[in-house]
Amino acid sequence: MKIIIAGIGKVGITLAERLNAEGHDITLIDKDAATLRTVADRIDVMGVEGNGVSYQVQMEAGIRQADLLIATTNSDEQNMLCCLMARKAGDCHTIARIRDPEYVKEVQFLREELNMSMIINPEREAALEVSRLIKYPSAIKIDSFAKGRVDLMKLVIPENSELDGCKVFEVNTKLRCRVLICIVERGEEVLIPDGSFELHAGDRLSFVADHKQAQDFFKKAHVQNNSIRSILLIGGGKMTYYVAKTLEETGISVKIIERDFKTCQFLSEVLPKATIINGDGTDQQLLLDEGIEQCGAIATFTGIDEENIMLSLYAGSLNPKAKMLTKINRIGFDNVIRSMNLGSVINPQLISADRIVTYVRAMQNSMGSNIETLFQVAPCAEALEFRVERESEVTDIELQQLTLKPGLLVACIYRGGKVVIPGGQDSIRPGDSVVIVTTQRGLNDLTDILR
């Protein structure tokens, strides 16, 4: 597919890398010629210097031949205009990044009136992930499927857990619960384990379960999952606003520390139930005075990655039982970040990229099983949800009889309101939602799971 990306900030670059790796023809538009050259040389894409709103610039980028334009500049209004111009100049799908809280209630109206295919809000998407993590404090990552009825959760196996030394095939019998272990991360290795694989303390374990079975699994595996009653948010940006707004009706006490006085005034107006502190979130005495040692959850959401990392490490040393949430925008040092005790790392850019890549793959799909959801669940591993619309070579055949690609697992089948954790004798049927976990890249259709 030919895809144009207008704006090469963090989201734009992340998308360019992901979509280029999947074999798409990518053209970048940006006013900054030096950055364009650097990115274009590094990931072998075409660059066009100029304003993405300009008709001439879009024509030079090949808008009439494009299948999709993605507008990710720093201006919401410019992104909307980019999409509007693309619809007039060409006949392609359009996606706009719109982040301002003022537009939240108008998203549906804007999408319909401007004829956009999708509107993406990175901070709001990240806030929804944070709200899920607050519900399961011991999980460091949660991805939801089947409209929230099925979760793929990641946790670190603690010392003295029932899971330490347990083989994968023994887990359900030993703990008397029904979950499916999909991925184990051990050091820099990412594995889709077979039944004989032995789990160890310190492993990062990803498993699929419905809500009730997940609760049982945490309890029986002796993984602490205490409910959170208070959260301290350091930094008062858009993501903090969306998180606090999401938690408003949960009964969780929300406290926000922000150094900019005008931002504090805005937050106090739109978040009447939250406590807003005007101060420097890096001031250790202020953090102690505001009760960082007693908080159930601590979120470091400033605009500086290094500051968030240092604050999370400091907060974790004072309050090791707290749920830690660390916002990281850059992804170039993933291995280093993973080795630190930062709790749940939240990357709005990656979350947005997952949503957009899902849409792109669904556009490519010409068969009977569309991608509903896609998440990058580990380095080199994805989880995809397919909606099975009609019969194909993978339906009505026992899973044990299908010749699947290596590094791939049918993790869950959602059928008629029920969650099925599949065994070898189960089969996929039309109407099902099917979750696939894989280290293979570029699956566009459910039939791609076959060799």
Q: What was the pLDDT predicted at 245?
A: 92
Whether residue 357 lies inside any domain: the answer is no
With b meaning 16 or more CB within 10 Å and e meaning fewer, what string describes 269-306?
A: eebeebebbbbebbeeeebeebebeebbbbbbbbeebe
Query: Residues 234, 306: one domain?
Result: yes
Domain count across the chain: 4
CA distance 80 to 369: 31
Q: Which residue has the tokens 């053209």?
A: 27
Q: What is the sign of the dihedral through the CA atoms of 164, 166, 169 and 173?
A: negative
CA distance 244 to 252: 9
Name the residue range of residue 425's domain. Answer: 364-449
Q: What was the pLDDT predicted at 335?
A: 67
Q: Which residue has the tokens 């799971």?
A: 449
Of 27-31, 157-161, 224-228, the least confident: 224-228
Q: What was the pLDDT predicted at 367?
A: 43
Q: What is the mean pLDDT of residues 95-108?
A: 89
Name the token pair of 76: 């919401």
Q: What is the mean pLDDT of residues 363-392?
A: 78
pLDDT at 281 over 60: yes
pLDDT at 225 over 80: no
CA distance 305 to 310: 9
Of the candidates 223, 206, 214, 218, the one whose C-alpha atom is nearest the C-alpha of residue 159 is 223
* Cβ atoms of residues 96 and 32 within 8 Å: no
Query: Residues 107, 216: one domain?
Result: no
Whether residue 59 lies inside any domain: the answer is yes
Q: What was the pLDDT predicted at 9?
A: 87
Query: Residues 67, 148: one domain?
Result: no
Of the candidates 201, 207, 138, the one whose C-alpha atom is nearest the C-alpha of residue 166 is 201
Q: What was the pLDDT predicted at 213?
A: 86
pLDDT at 369 over 60: no
Query: Residues 213, 239: one domain?
Result: no
The burial class, CB within 10 Å (0-12 / 13-18 / 19+), for 396 is exposed
Whether residue 417 lies inside any domain: the answer is yes
Name the domain boundary from 86, 120, 154. Answer: 120
96 pLDDT tier (thresholds 50, 70, 90): very high
Of 192-196, 299-303, 442-446, the least confident: 442-446
Q: What was the pLDDT predicted at 254?
A: 95
Give me the long-range contacts of 173-176 (CB less than 8 A, separation at least 24): 175/216, 175/217, 175/220, 175/221, 176/216, 176/220
Query: Residues 105, 50: one domain?
Result: yes
pLDDT at 366 over 80: no
Residue-averaged pLDDT of the chain: 89
Of the candidates 299, 348, 289, 291, the one whose C-alpha atom is nearest the C-alpha of residue 323 is 299
Of the candidates 361, 395, 365, the one whose C-alpha atom is nearest the C-alpha of residue 375 is 361
Query: Residues 64, 147: one domain?
Result: no
Q: What is the mean pLDDT of residues 151-176?
A: 88
Q: What is the mean pLDDT of residues 51-77?
A: 94
Whether residue 125 lies inside any domain: the answer is no
* Cβ atoms of residues 129 and 138 within 8 Å: no
Enumerate residues 6+ apart whose C-beta is below 8 A from 290: 232, 255, 257, 277
Whether residue 358 lies inside any domain: the answer is no
Between 191 and 365, where is the model more confident? 191
Name the token pair of 109: 């109206």
* Cβ atoms of residues 43 and 23 within 8 Å: no
CATH number at residue 78: 3.40.50.720
Whether residue 264 lies inside any domain: the answer is yes
pLDDT at 427 over 80: yes
Q: What is the mean pLDDT of residues 423-447?
A: 88
Name the token pair of 122: 């990175």
pTM given for the model: 0.84
Name the token pair of 178: 């029904």
Query: Residues 208, 246: one domain?
Result: no
Q: What is the sign of the dihedral through the CA atoms of 150, 154, 159 and 162?
A: positive
Query: Residues 169, 251: one domain?
Result: no
Percent of the chain residues topping a pLDDT of 70: 98
Query: Residues 88, 114: one domain?
Result: yes
Q: What is the mean pLDDT of residues 436-451?
A: 86
SS3 279: coil
187 pLDDT tier (thresholds 50, 70, 90): confident
Planar angle of CA 190, 192, 197, nearest 5 degrees: 100
Whether residue 356 lies inside any domain: the answer is no
Q: What was the pLDDT predicted at 107?
A: 87
Q: What was the pLDDT predicted at 368?
A: 47
CA distance 238 to 445: 35
Query: Residues 240, 339: one domain?
Result: yes
Name the token pair of 208: 């699929």
Query: Residues 193, 288: one domain?
Result: no
331 pLDDT tier (thresholds 50, 70, 90): low
Q: What was the pLDDT predicted at 135?
A: 84
Amino acid at 89: A
pLDDT at 165 over 80: yes
Whether residue 135 lies inside any domain: the answer is no
104 pLDDT tier (thresholds 50, 70, 90): confident
Query: Residues 87, 62: one domain?
Result: yes
Q: What is the pLDDT of residues 250-272, one digit of tens each?
A: 889 999 999 999 999 999 999 99
With b meaning 16 or more CB within 10 Å and e meaning fewer, what string describes 430-440?
A: eebbbbbbbbb
120 pLDDT tier (thresholds 50, 70, 90): very high
* Cβ atoms of residues 58 and 4 within 8 Å: yes
Name the domain boundary from 346, 374, 389. Answer: 346
Q: What was the pLDDT predicted at 216?
A: 86
Q: Which residue has the tokens 């490490």?
A: 313
Full 3-state SS string of 139-179: CCEEEEEHHHCEEEEEEECCCCCCCCCCEHHHHHHHHCCCC
Name the domain boundary from 346, 379, 404. Answer: 346
365 pLDDT tier (thresholds 50, 70, 90): low
**At how many degrees (to 10) do helices 10-21 and 348-364 cross?**
40
Q: What is the mean pLDDT of residues 352-371?
A: 75
48 beta partners:
29
Of the candidates 192, 107, 198, the one whose C-alpha atom is nearest the C-alpha of residue 440 is 192
Maximum pairwise Cα distance, the chain: 65
Of the candidates 446, 391, 437, 444, the one whose C-alpha atom is nearest the C-alpha of residue 410 is 437
Name the token pair of 105: 């209630």
CA distance 154 to 142: 6
CATH number at residue 189: 3.30.70.1450
Enter the DSSP assignment of 198.
B
